[in-house]
Amino acid sequence: IDIEIYGGLSMQYLDEFKSYGQKIRNSIYASLIDGKKYEEIKNTFNNKIISLSNQIMNGTNSSFKQFAETLVRIAISHGVLLSNEQLGVLNDNNYKDIGAIIALALISKSPKENKADVDTTAKEEVSLIEKREDF
């Protein structure tokens, strides 16, 4: 991703959109795990992650408006909202790169994610999401 050519995004915003993808991932996990073990939900979880990542990438192959609509649907259905700063950065010149970052983050395990602590990580993330003032 060429940051200079595509809208001059700073590394801060790249990290924020990467974090956004991870928040969506954690939200999906938390919605599925309720009282179950990871092995019981693994296939459903992976299928949802792949499907959402594919929706985002398809949105980047469309117009900026369609990409924005895809993000709105995902944000509403998974309760993970973009900040006003993130929305202010999105534009017609960089939405494809931002979409790729979100999709890659969505399908990537975070460094702290393993079988032992993935449940705690997801629940902590959902707890933080629920405490947001703009939620």
Q: Is residue 60 part of a domain?
A: yes
Do 117 and 27 touch, CB atoms closer than 8 A?
A: no
Inform me whether the pLDDT recorded for 54 exceeds 70: yes
In a domain, 59, yes or no: yes
Instruction: Tell me the C-alpha distance between 116 and 56, whole Å.
Output: 29
Query: What's the number of domains the chain is made of?
Result: 1
Query: pLDDT of 112-127, one tens digit each?
Result: 666 555 555 555 655 5
In the block, which residue shows the tokens 């299928």?
A: 47
> Tokens standing for 58?
């398809």
Q: Which tens digits make up the pLDDT trace of 63-81? A: 999 999 999 999 999 999 9
Residue 6 lies in a domain: no
CA distance 6 to 128: 31
Q: What stretch of H or E contains 2? A: none
Domain-embedded: residue 95? yes
How far apart (Å, rounded) are the C-alpha atoms in residues 67 and 129?
23
State yes or no: pLDDT of 83 exceeds 90. no
The answer to whether residue 3 sits within a structural domain is no
Instruction: Average the pLDDT over 8-24 and give the result.
Output: 83
Residue 8 has pLDDT above 50, yes or no: yes
Residue 111: inside a domain, yes or no?
A: yes
Longest Cα pair distance anywhere in the chain, in angstroms?
47
Contact 26, 125 (CB under 8 A): yes
Q: Is residue 5 part of a domain?
A: no
Q: What angle do CA 83, 104, 62 make, to 5 degrees?
A: 75
- Any domain includes 100: yes
- Full-model pTM: 0.77
H or E stretch including 118?
helix 118-131
Band of the pLDDT at 128, cuts 50, 70, 90?
A: low
Distance CA 65, CA 38 (A): 36
